[in-house]
Structure 1
């Protein structure tokens, strides 16, 4: 009996018995063998990833929203993964964001209202990206390749993500997906950080610390500044401080007792994650973010109580030696020392940049400072002068003109975001808005001390949090239309 005849010819593995199927299998085998022989393990991984990539493309074609969530996930993971497998993981964010936007443009089954993207935040983002494109022609730059790698975190991701959020993520459930994913990924970062704190770093992290010479900023007086799977301890600390602030504000919201207890637990866990990072600059997150929350409550009793608590913490750190036996507290205390050598060096570097940029209103060129400057032009003044601050980096690479555009955008976000929070009447939605707004404010101000705003994952979080904040008032409209 011919068993194959019982199967429909167009289904199942029977197709492989045809001449075409055998030929395709043979070509697949030959291609795989050649790829592995030429590229070794990298080729093998690429070949194995091919069917996964095809399946992912098919999924994104129907659900382009997934590209945003995958970009957020990779924003958290790229630094950690790169310590174990050396590959251009950062380009995955470019791929997911670009694919999402392209699918929205060409897949007729994905219907969007393009007028939803006609907003001030989208316009600001595109104007900023337009200015960055013009920076390609900056004669002081390091060329197109340096520009391409460096501009992505400065404005490209923002120019892609912000319009996509306005087009596809207009429902309240989208915001809750964002919030839950953000909490889950941050908790994973906290757990990984405590693993480093309790059990020490593993072999790959040890190599990153010592062989790649990151120990000077991460091992102080024999004590590890925990960095988890983030780019560095500063980014880990700022992100954890942001999450502690966000969940702490939600814990004060009009939610069920069970949910408020959960938010309080999360706030404590994230605060401990911030503490073990030993990051001084991240103190600005709860300080300025908390102040923004107190102002938007429009409750003068709460504002007075909150300001009193902040002053008390400042006095303890500045004028007493309480908790001096705790390493993390000692390091935070140094942030308030005006004679701190680290602060003096930063100010000296700013003077150096000021002299160099005196006749360069458009800056030294994108990709000339920091990591990319060291890669493409290691002997230049720009590459050998630490920017430290996010705003100093923007100033150094895009000039006073670029800094003015960027600060105008952030100032607009601060002003309009505060107005949105104070204008909401629904208690729950107001609580969500104030939590997100306070987090944005905290990140913006903490970016003066470190490059928090543009680094992953905080950069990707901000690219989503800002449009989500301004979409909260539209939830009423969307619910009314249903």
Structure 2
């Protein structure tokens, strides 16, 4: 009898719920939603419909982020890998997603009282350097030689804004060893995805969107040499792909010889081989600096003379083979690397001539030609200018051209401080595993810093976002055993 009464009560409850849905207020809300949906579709077309469908997803995402602002920085790293590839398939301002995720995380940190942070953790020299650099970039807004506020806004993001947003956030929220391993595993997964996509291009060729990017957008001259594709995967170009893969190959190679268990060493060793092959199919000469200088940094920080001597001997042997022999000349990637050691290479001569051109133009401009006047943004906002029509190639030439000798001095000082302090940290760590994680990070940073002389590696995605997280992670390794 009691069971029958419960059934009747449940049916009554369901009936009352349906009645409420069909009540005056329910009908008005339903009609209102349909009216808004029709308006969105009429004004924005299919994009409006997609936007409307995405609203509840967006609300759910914001709710998740409100409790876990760390996710904003993780998503920024993921988008750093994907934005160039996505833009070849769907035209949208994908790059702004990084700004949005970082900004949302900071807003939540400031507004959500449940997120407890100790602001003293951000009182770090690297944070101060990053904020000073960003302050100088803000000063560049008034540079009379610049292209205006819009060009400045788009260009300054990769140069310093992301760094100023990410570095203190890592210090505040990502203090545990678990956070570092999440970072490491995310790098491995995304880089492996890049390697797989690269081999897809190498073996099966490019797809329709990539073909359009190569030929209709005129990237074929730098990516198809003598009929051979320089693989670029879903990265911005082959140079960025090659440098990123070389960095990961170096990092994994160092961990493979570290004080870890057999399975972990084997895993890291296999990853090093895979990433090295990814580097090889990119045909990138400038990325040779990553294993060269990064490997040398690792050998020095080991403070082991025998290992240092063996490593330098191996590097000299590779240099001798590339410079003075024709071994492996039948391999296109080796031929491409060999040209990097030719002082009469036409590409090198053009780069040197471009630097002379910049030197003349910047002779009376200690603060540079203005952020957003060179490279892609210069071509977009002032296509007929000398800055836009002279290739910067090097990251440091770009910084010099846009921010002058003053800006270059600030930026080089920051990087020099990172390399000096990082090397000291690595040499003085006593815990063997911590030491190898630190040396792997440090060697990767050194490799990227030096390879950026040949290409704009340091500020391009995903390497720029990786560096913005790797640098503070490196300096927090000694703190893992301490309570935060």
TM-score bracket, normalised by the shorter chain, equals: over 0.9
Equivalent residue, structure 2, for 1:110: 115
1:207 aligns with 2:212: yes
Q: Give how far 1:54 is off.
A: 1.2
Q: Distance in 1 between matches of 2:11 and 2:90?
A: 45
Q: Distance in 1 between matches of 2:170 and 2:25?
A: 44
Q: Distance in 2 between matches of 1:148 and 1:315?
A: 46
Q: Distance in 2 between matches of 1:410 and 1:15?
A: 65
Preserved CA contact (<8 Å) 1:253 1:431: yes
1:123 aligns with 2:159: no
The number of equivalent residue pairs is 477
1:387-416 deviations in Å (ceiling 9; x for gaps): 000000000000000000000000000000
Q: Give how far 1:66 is off.
A: 0.4
Q: Give how far 1:6 is off.
A: 2.5
Equivalent residue, structure 2, for 1:311: 316
Equivalent residue, structure 2, for 1:179: 184
Sort the Cα spacing of 1:384 and 1:113 in 2 relative to 1 into closer, same or farther, 3 A: same
Equivalent residue, structure 2, for 1:380: 385
Q: Give how far 1:86 is off.
A: 0.1
Equivalent residue, structure 2, for 1:414: 419
Preserved CA contact (<8 Å) 1:436 1:465: yes
The secondary structure found in structure 2 opposite 1:139 is coil
Preserved CA contact (<8 Å) 1:234 1:279: yes
* TM-score, length-scaled by structure 1: 0.97
Q: Distance in 2 between matches of 1:398 and 1:15?
A: 64
1:144-191 deviations in Å (ceiling 9; x for gaps): 000000000000000000010000000000000000000000000000
Q: Distance in 2 between matches of 1:13 and 1:409?
A: 65
1:6 aligns with 2:13: yes
1:99-139 deviations in Å (ceiling 9; x for gaps): 11110111000001000000000000000000000100000
Kindly report which structure 2 residues correspond to 1:46-445, keeping only aligned pairs within 5 A, or say none.
Answer: 46-445=51-450
Q: Distance in 1 between matches of 2:173 and 2:393?
A: 36
Q: Give how far 1:50 is off.
A: 1.8
Q: Give how far 1:14 is off.
A: 8.1
Alignment gaps of 5+ in structure 1 = none
Q: Distance in 1 between matches of 2:195 and 2:300?
A: 29
Sort the Cα spacing of 1:8 and 1:264 in 2 relative to 1 into closer, same or farther, 3 A: farther
Alignment RMSD (CA, Å): 1.5
Q: Which has the larger radius of gyration?
A: 2
Q: Distance in 2 between matches of 1:311 and 1:437?
A: 22
Q: Give how far 1:40 is off.
A: 2.5
* TM-score, length-scaled by structure 2: 0.96
The secondary structure found in structure 2 opposite 1:56 is helix
